[in-house]
Amino acid sequence: MRGPMKAFSVLYFLCCTFSISVVSTAVDTIGTTQSIKGGATIVSTGGIFELGFFSPGNSKSRYVGIWYGKISTRTVVWVANRDIPINDTSGVLRLSEEGILVLIDDTNSTIWSSNPSRSVNNPVAQLLDTGNLVVRDGNDNDPENFLWQSFDYPCDTFLAGMKYGFNLATGINRVLTSWNSSDDPSSGDFTNELDPNGVPQFYLRQGSVVMYRTGPWNGLRFTGMPNLKPNPIYTYEFVYSPKEDYYSYQLINNSVVSMMVLTPDGNLQRFIWIDSSQSWNVYLTAQVDGCDRYALCGAYGSCNINNSPACGCLEGFIPKFPQDWNAADWSHGCVRKVPLKCRDGEGFLKYSGIKLPDTRESWYNMTMDLNECKKLCLKNCSCTAYSSWDVRGGGRGCILWFVELIDIREYPENGQDIYIRMDASELAAYRRSKRVRTIVISVVCLGMALLGLCLMLFVLKKKPRREGNIVDDPEQKSTDGSKSENFDLPLFDFATIACATENFSNKNGLGQGGFGQVYKGILKEGQEIAVKRLSSESRQGLDEFKNEVSSIAKLQHRNLVKLLGCCIQEDERMLIYEYMCNKSLDSFIFDPKQSRLLDWPKRFHIINGIARGLLYLHQDSRLRIIHRDLKASNVLLDNEMNPKISDFGMAKIFGGDETEARTRRVLGPMFLCSGYMSPEYTIDGLFSVKSDVFSFGVLVLEIVSGKRNRGFCHQDHKLNLLGHAWRLYKEDRPIFELIDKSVKDSCNPAQVSRSVHVGLLCVQQCPDKRPSMSTVVLMLSSETALPMPQEPGFLIDRDPSDMDSSPSRRERSSSNGLTISLPEPR
């Protein structure tokens, strides 16, 4: 037994000392008949890592954690109960018969538990030499078959061999979260995570505010990390596949001790342990200097740390507000000297050696070459820039931007090329300027030696901040049919769509809505499409059409249905979408036969995908969008059962300062009867992001149960699905009473329980009590403790046939006394 260690502080954001006795058992596993308590620990086979109870710094609180076992400075790399400490000497960590790691206190209350993907007959928990704590079948060492692993739930430390990013199959999102301080391992202010929107990149946030981004991966490195290069310490890679998006690294020499840490003050740094000095040394820092501050120079501004001031406008751009710019307030960025008009002669200016702009709202293709990329960008009037997706081998793949270019900076080495769209007059002016510079330089070269220095200074003074090469395309044509309405979308002619749908044949019909008919089509290139054709008799449909175009035209997210273009020729109004072969979610979860195709992992993946899509709409897109019509029939499924939110006809775009709005045009009776509408929307016509959260909560409970909220029937009561779930929760009854019988064999009890709990939090009557979608995504992907939900709105079901179309009709529809009034439509 080792005696108490004297507290000391080295690298406050990394090192933790212990005030309790520790006993090393010299074993690396825990069975179902064993436990860890007091000062007992387990040690990985090579002695590299150790797991047990500890108290950080001067704290008296106790945690279960993993730390390095062979270095003198105790450095904790993972904490199980980081947000729920044990405040006395009690605490036992054990493995249940079901393969669940459970931490309990002296009252036998569960402080923390793992959530294995399935149960086995002979579970074993093992601490590996990588620092990964895994739960596996005792006879199965295949990493692909682990029931649970700590690498999927990192704290502030990124270790070698860890997959840092998304597992799209399981919905796991591996996020680094800083400690609060050296004495407090609870979740701090800073998070670093992979954002899959557009071209994936990592974002460092303080709360919800983006502080830094790595830029997208270009085959060699992240474009915002030029100092990430081949080295003798570690190798690295970024994997981008249909099932996983992640970054990982491997140590070249296993005797080297190295880790990546998100420190309490928000620095993402790599450390190397130096034996000679017995200390941690900083090897690499993600944020190099002030130019790495996110969007420091605003839209179309570029940061160069060697300039004074560091911010400047790109060639062809000027400060949006010169007075603020000259006062060192660059946040408003720059604007074009000559606005784009989508006419002949527009082309591109090449910029080299830069960090690519924010790619959250970009589009990409991994097979196109750079020339194809240029042509595609020129054909779309909304396209502002393009670049290579992968710079290896001369460049391949394509990235297109359709929004303002944000967070650009210049590098002296390891930057990337980007081609920015310019007006024809600006390109001509640049050519003239370039010719003038060439003449001046020639004169300087031929001039007398005495005048050389003066001429050189003159040229340098006149030289623009950045030189560029012109890449223009004189074949760009104006778009026919857009005289009256500018939708900033590729336009299809009527003949093309008629041919694709076999002249809108009934056999190609996919469905009918208030706006008109939806058809399946196949373009000449073989691409399958879905065509939403506006009915000429529907005035409401025309409004929805315009709203849908303005809402979704510039949105790019894997969980939103992709709008490919539109047709506005003559009297036709059509939207062309990517085709979803599995149609809508409701056709699966509410159909007894089809529901068998959605096991629990697929359903949990769908829940997480919908949550990420809503988060993008509410927070991460350039526009804040309230969907207002989220329901199972408006969630489409692709061939891999990935969910895509669709139908933006009722969506509302909010300004940056808006949080809620009132409307007298509440959604129609069909939406009301479906049970997705929030109380405040139904009663007062008020809607906000929390209205979508309510609809999401209803949808989660429907996905779990396979039952519709409205029309739900139970022999013991007349409650709807929300009321039934709430009753089960209040009475602490088994969750298996709620779940769809077709998923009982495949379900993960912990995930199902967490999903239902989150669903109930989302459908609380009071909007302020409902979580934001960013919180929902975090709750679904982590093991953090969840708050207690309050009573939902609209607990009592009613027969839709009882609804009166009269605006003055009032119906009581909730056990908590809510009165529903239908505002008069307009």
Is the pLDDT score of 8 beyond 50? no
For residue 458, the model assigns a pLDDT of 59
For residue 690, the model assigns a pLDDT of 93
Mean pLDDT of the chain: 82
pLDDT category, 550, cuts 50, 70, 90?
A: low
**Pairwise pLDDT comparison (715 vs 673), residue with the higher score:** 715
Burial of 56 (0-12, 13-18, 19+ CB in 10 A): buried
Mean pLDDT calculated for residue range 678-683: 81
**Pairwise pLDDT comparison (817 vs 605), residue with the higher score:** 605
Q: Does domain 494-578 have CATH number 3.30.200.20?
A: yes
Mean pLDDT calculated for residue range 4-8: 34
For residue 471, the model assigns a pLDDT of 36
For residue 34, the model assigns a pLDDT of 92
For residue 735, the model assigns a pLDDT of 79
For residue 106, the model assigns a pLDDT of 85
Domain boundaries 1-153, CATH class: mainly beta
Is the pLDDT score of 614 beyond 50? yes
Answer yes or no: are the C-beta atoms of 671 and 677 closer than 8 Å. yes
Is the pLDDT score of 139 beyond 80? yes
For residue 436, the model assigns a pLDDT of 57
For residue 6, the model assigns a pLDDT of 35
pLDDT category, 538, cuts 50, 70, 90?
A: low
For residue 425, the model assigns a pLDDT of 83
For residue 442, the model assigns a pLDDT of 59
Is the pLDDT score of 112 beyond 60? yes
Q: How far is CA 648 from CA 466, 485, 490, 700, in A?
A: 42, 18, 18, 20
For residue 411, the model assigns a pLDDT of 92
Mean pLDDT calculated for residue range 35-62: 93
Is the pLDDT score of 483 beyond 60? no
Is the pLDDT score of 258 beyond 80? yes
Is the pLDDT score of 521 beyond 80? yes
pLDDT category, 670, cuts 50, 70, 90?
A: very low
Q: Is 425 helix (H, G, I), strand (E, B) or coil?
A: helix
pLDDT category, 82, cuts 50, 70, 90?
A: very high
pLDDT category, 336, cuts 50, 70, 90?
A: very high
Written as six digits, the tokens of 541 are 């449909």
Active-site residues, by number, are 629
Question: What's the pTM?
Answer: 0.54
For residue 438, the model assigns a pLDDT of 58
Is the pLDDT score of 24 beyond 70? no
pLDDT digits (tens, 9 = 90+) for 766-777: 999 999 998 898
Most confident region among 306-320, 618-632, 710-724 by mean pLDDT = 306-320
Domain 586-821 fold = Transferase(Phosphotransferase); domain 1 (1.10.510)
Binding residues for ATP: 532
C-alpha 728, offset from chain centre = 32
Q: What is the dihedral of CA 51, 57, 63, 64, to 10 degrees?
A: -10
Is the pLDDT score of 174 beyond 90? yes
For residue 784, the model assigns a pLDDT of 75
Answer yes or no: are the C-beta atoms of 530 and 577 closer than 8 Å. yes
Buried b (16+ CB within 10 A) or exposed e, 531-566: bbbbbeebeebeebbebbbbbbbbbbbbbbbbbbbb
**Pairwise pLDDT comparison (412 vs 797), residue with the higher score:** 412
Most confident region among 508-517, 518-527, 672-681 by mean pLDDT = 518-527
For residue 815, the model assigns a pLDDT of 31
- Report the C-alpha gap between 735 and 751 in whole angstroms: 11
Mean pLDDT calculated for residue range 483-503: 77
Segments making up each domain of the chain, as ranges = 1-153, 158-176+186-288, 340-472, 494-578, 586-821
Q: Is 529 helix (H, G, I), strand (E, B) or coil?
A: strand
For residue 146, the model assigns a pLDDT of 92
Mean pLDDT calculated for residue range 346-374: 93
For residue 639, the model assigns a pLDDT of 87
**Pairwise pLDDT comparison (11 vs 356), residue with the higher score:** 356
Tally of CB atoms within 10 A around 8 = 10
Mean pLDDT calculated for residue range 340-347: 85
Written as six digits, the tokens of 197 are 């929107």
